Amino acid sequence: MIDFPSQLPEHLVAASAGRRLVLHAMHSVVDWLAFAVWEDGGLVRSLSLSPDSGIIENIGEPLPFELPYWAGDRPADVVPWPDEDEEPYPLPFHPLELGEDALRALCGFVQEGRPEPDDIDAYSIDLHGFHVRDPHGPDPAEEEAKLKRIMETMGPPRFYTLSPDGSLIERDNL
């Protein structure tokens, strides 16, 4: 689903009724970017691309922050490995650079790169966490007691180190 951001499950899109919904994902190991924007439940833009797969999904008109990339004003500046023939980068721009600009334009902050004066400090945003329990599942107190009983049957921890020949030798402590 994430390679095709437009396929976000309908119940998530429906939960954003009356608002803007943004999906944004990047994977630096493979230079992959995907993002999508819905306004009041309607898909406005979806883009997913990587150098290995090319353009996976491209729905809707490019958003203003994308235009310099598609116009060729932000070409990929990829440094080749030493002693390797350089093949041209398969995309007209680097997806992660577009991804950072998308993050700034859509969410107000960046993960990498120099923040601008108007950027939000993402680390200053408090997020709420919730414990979700299965109402039909086991009682948490009973589960805790069961775990405690199991741990009481276990002996003390044992510590090992490698000998010079590679075999394990038990140690008395850390």
Distance of alpha carbon 117 from alpha carbon 121, whole angstroms: 10
Whether 132 is in a domain gets the answer no
Q: Examine the domain organization and report whether 16 and 99 are in the same domain.
A: yes
pLDDT confidence of residue 14? 96
> Do residue 163 and residue 108 come from a single domain?
no
Give per-residue pLDDT as tens, 141-155: 999 999 999 999 998
pLDDT digits (tens, 9 = 90+) for 62-121: 999 999 999 999 999 877 777 777 778 899 999 999 999 999 999 999 988 888 999 999
Structure confidence at residue 106 (pLDDT): 97
Say which residue, 123 or 38, is predicted with more confidence. 38
The pLDDT tens digits of the residues spanning 3-23 come to: 999 999 999 999 999 999 999
pLDDT value for 37 = 98
My answer on whether 116 and 56 are in the same domain is yes
**H or E segment and range at residue 49:** strand 42-50
- Is residue 110 domain-shared with residue 43, that is, in the same domain? yes
Burial class (CB in 10 A: 0-12, 13-18, 19+), 4: middle
Structural domain includes residue 133: no
Q: Same domain for 151 and 111?
A: no
Residue 85 counted as domain residue: yes
Provide the pLDDT for residue 6: 97
pLDDT at 1: 63
Overall number of domains in the chain: 2
Contact call for residues 12 and 28 (beta carbons, < 8 A): no
Does the residue 135 lie in any domain? no
**Residue 112 belongs to a domain:** yes
**Of the candidates 167, 168, 149, the residue with the CA atom closest to the CA atom of residue 159:** 168
Whether the pTM exceeds 0.85: the reply is no
Residues of the domain holding 144:
140-171
Q: Does 118 lie in the same domain as 147?
A: no
**pLDDT recorded at residue 4:** 97
Residue of 62, 38, 66, 32 whose CA lies nearest to 50: 32
